[in-house]
Chain A
């Protein structure tokens, strides 16, 4: 079992729709949770960070964390073609970061 698992892709949604990305993790001691976006051939860039249970909203993006279920998700509302990228879930515990393999999202115009 991988330490961080993301829903298998690729994920394709039409422009304007909601994209839902999911991630589960195995280490209950994990303290910090991140979603990064990575365009092809580029480095990851931070989309959202979340540290406590519940929802955190930033513009079109909402991160949700449920530590009891060891689950973190990212919702992208009003998806745009420019959101097409690979989304990486990252979990941090005591300095060590573990990334999932990523989910590739395609938003079709």
Chain B
């Protein structure tokens, strides 16, 4: 079966532009997570969805970051007015539910803001 997919795999943008990152979870997985990983650092939790709702948005770094999930499947992470410090790998993961099951990670989107 297909794993978690993310697109684009790489994105180079100019400071001030908006970007959209997409995550397609494993079919049947109701929980979906977004993380950010800067070079040489651990994973920074951004947000998670159970179905289409996001019970915890506390990890979003600023109001420039937003995420949505529709149909209990695909999720989009949007970064408005990108800054150079937004450059990182954005990882998406999904699990059967948010109750403690294993998270399966996608390949990530490498974002570079010039």
Number of residues in A with C-beta < 8 Å to the partner? 21
User: Which residues of chain B from 55 to 78 have any CB-CB distance to chain A below 8 Å in the complex?
Assistant: 55-56, 58-59
10 A-B pairs besides A96-B48, A96-B58, A99-B45 with CB distance below 8 A are A34-B102, A44-B91, A49-B100, A94-B55, A95-B99, A96-B56, A97-B33, A97-B45, A101-B41, A101-B42
- CB of A36, distance to nearest CB on chain B (Å): 8
Chain B CB count within 10 A is highest, among A32, A34, A43, for: A43
Question: Measured between alpha carbons, how far is A96 from B43 in the docked complex, in Å?
Answer: 12
Residue among A43, A96, A97 making CB contact with B106, cutoff 8 Å = A43
A45 CB-CB contact with B under 8 Å: yes
* Structural contact, B42 and A43, CB atoms closer than 8 A: no
Q: Number of contact residues on B: which range applies? A: 20 to 34
B92 nearest in chain A by CB position:
A43
A101 nearest in chain B by CB position:
B42
Given contacts A43-B108, A45-B105, contact A51 B100 (CB under 8 A): yes
A74 CB-CB contact with B under 8 Å: no
Q: Which residues of A contact B50 (CB under 8 A)?
A: 95
User: Which residues of chain A from 65 to 109 have any CB-CB distance to chain B below 8 Å in the complex?
Assistant: 88, 90, 92, 94-102
B21 CB-CB contact with A under 8 Å: no
Question: Measured between alpha carbons, how far is A83 from B48 in the docked complex, in Å?
Answer: 30
Can you offer 21 A-B residue contacts whose CB atoms are under 8 A? Answer: A34-B103, A43-B91, A43-B106, A44-B91, A49-B100, A49-B102, A88-B42, A88-B43, A90-B43, A92-B100, A95-B31, A95-B50, A96-B45, A96-B48, A96-B56, A96-B59, A97-B35, A97-B48, A99-B43, A100-B42, A101-B41
User: Which residues of chain A from 41 to 56 have any CB-CB distance to chain B below 8 Å in the complex?
Assistant: 43-46, 49, 51
